Amino acid sequence: MAERGADEIQREIEQARVKLAGAVDQLAYQTSPKRMAENVKQSLKQRAQSPQGRAVIGVTGGLVVILIVRRIRKGRR
């Protein structure tokens, strides 16, 4: 087996360092709280704009109105 020279070892170390730095950067990007919040926000917007999302929002809004009216009526008694 041939021995590796110092230059070859140094190149391998540098390549490994570059790969590791790239992986760390990618992880930092993927787990960024700002980015994750933005993804959730966009996903919710898309869901809310779908026909099913609009129906859910409408039903939920109706229920909230009913609960508010019931609470107001209950307080007047």
Domain residue ranges of the chain, discontinuous segments joined by +: 7-76
CA distance 75 to 48: 34
At residue 2, the pLDDT reads 62
Contacts of residue 47, Cβ cutoff 8 Å, sequence gap at least 6: 53
Q: Quote the pLDDT of residue 58.
A: 95
What pLDDT score was predicted for residue 38? 93
Q: Coil, strand or helix: which one is 50? A: coil
Return the pLDDT at 23. 96
Calpha distance 50→39 (Å, rounded): 17
pLDDT tens across the length of the chain (77 residues): 567 899 999 999 999 999 999 999 999 998 999 999 999 999 999 999 999 999 999 999 999 999 999 999 988 77
